[in-house]
Amino acid sequence: MNSLKRKIIAATLSMALIGAQAFPVGADTADDIAAVQAQQEQTNAALYDVQSSIDSLEGQKQEILDQIEGYDQQLVLTMASIQSLDQQVAQKEKELDKTAKDLKKAQEDEKVQYEAMKKRIQYLYEQGGRNGWVDVMMGDVTLSEGMDKVDNTQSMYKYDREELENYTKTAEEVKKLQAQQTQQKSSLEAMKQEQEGAKANLEALKEQAQAENENYDQQIAQAQATANEYYALIEQQNAQIAQLQEQKAAEDEAARQAAEAEAARQAAAEQAAAQETQTDETYTDDSYNEAASDDNGSYDDAGSYSESTGSSATQTTVSAPVSNGTGVSGSSIASYACQFVGNPYVWGGTSLTNGADCSGFVQSVYRQFGIGLSRTTYTQANEGVAVSYNDMQPGDVINYGFHTAIYIGNNQIVHAADESLGIIVQSNPAYQPIVTIRRFV
């Protein structure tokens, strides 16, 4: 909910509060009732907007919470990867330490072998190879013995060369291994640095999402506070409407009694005039003289009719028949409404089979019993007779301000819920705050 929308809602609420106090009980009570009902319709519309805003904010908040959960999961994986890389780097460092020691030993062995080989070669050539031919020439040894000395010298030289090459090869391989391990360590450290960057980025995104979540919490709290003010205002308007309706009923009763009294007065006057114009009949025998008269009945102040006959007055009271409402039971309405459970919800619809919204469903159900209700939730809230929650009976209409349902007994309601659910039976009539309960039968 942006700041401009909050200002508009706040201004609407202020105007509604001011208007709710602007209609004291006046002379034209019917106009006062209509004015307060019009105000209440605006309040209900504003409340619907606030509730829609709360639903939207709740949805956006849930998306942020899902993002935070996703960031947490990625952070767990990233930190596990960093820990694994730390272990691999530590292992490579151990391997490099061992390789460095192996290389140092190989190089030292190579140097020792080289120095030893030089000394042996020098000795062999000085003492063995050259002297072998001299001994032959001098006749000290035979040719075969001299050649054996030369061959031994060459074999020893060949052996030393091969050993030196082996030591050199070993040292080179250790060097290559050291270079390879150094490269692997550098690669692992680069991967770790990359993971550290990813971790920092995820932490920043999570922190930002948490800040947005707190902002949504504040907006939802503000919107809910506004909605609570609208609920309080609706209750105040309901009380005002009830007060005005009671006054109107009292005025209507007073007018009815006045009209009946006036009718009784006029009837009595007409009867008196008729008696005065009546002609008495006199019989010829002196012993009997009778005055005949017409009907001597009259109405009392309460509207009852009295009839007098002769000298004995016999009084008969005739009262107007008392209406017993529509003659339809609330249970019949509840049972009829339940026949359409499972049919679709259609915004603006009034068809019990092809689809209706909440107020269209209530209107169409009652229409089948010859009872006319208005079309919208807001206007239905002001029709019928208000009853308390404890006095609620099957067939009563429960109004939630922006939604409406029919009570069917056993702590259940039937209503056109929404497009995903359609027409359903639901437990707990007070699953949302109740604005008013209306009775039409």
Q: Token pair of 72, please?
A: 């947490």
| Upper half-sphere CA count for residue 54 (Cβ side, 13 Å) | 16
Is 73 part of the annotated catalytic residue set?
Answer: no
Is 294 part of the annotated catalytic residue set?
Answer: no
- Of 160, 415, 417, 429, which is the active-site residue? 415
- Of 403, 404, 416, 417, which is the active-site residue? 403
Return the closest-CA partner of residue 439 out of 390, 397, 402, 406.
397
Query: Which residues on adjacent β-strands are paired with residue 437?
Result: 398
User: Is 397 in contact with 362 (CB distance < 8 Å)?
Assistant: yes
Q: What's the one-letter identity of residue 156? A: M
Q: For residue 305, what is the DSSP state?
A: E
Is 338 part of the annotated catalytic residue set?
Answer: no
Q: Token pair of 221, please?
A: 């709290």
Q: CA separation (Å) from 385 to 40, 247, 328?
A: 17, 14, 15
Chain center to CA of 351: 29
Q: Tell me how far apart the alpha carbons of residues 219 and 9 are, in angstroms, rounded to a whole number.
A: 13
Q: What is the CA radius of gyration of the chain?
A: 55
Question: Is 312 strand, coil or helix?
Answer: strand
Assign 3-state DSSP to the chain and report helix, strand, coil percentages, each to 5.
65, 10, 25
Q: In what order do the strands lie in the sheet with 298-299?
A: 298-299, 305-309, 312-314
Q: What's the one-letter identity of residue 76? A: V
Q: Tell me how far apart the alpha carbons of residues 125 and 161 are, in angstroms, rounded to a whole number.
A: 15
- Of 1, 50, 202, 358, which is the active-site residue? 358
Contacts of 65 (CB under 8 A, 6+ apart): 213
Please list the active-site residues. 358, 403, 415
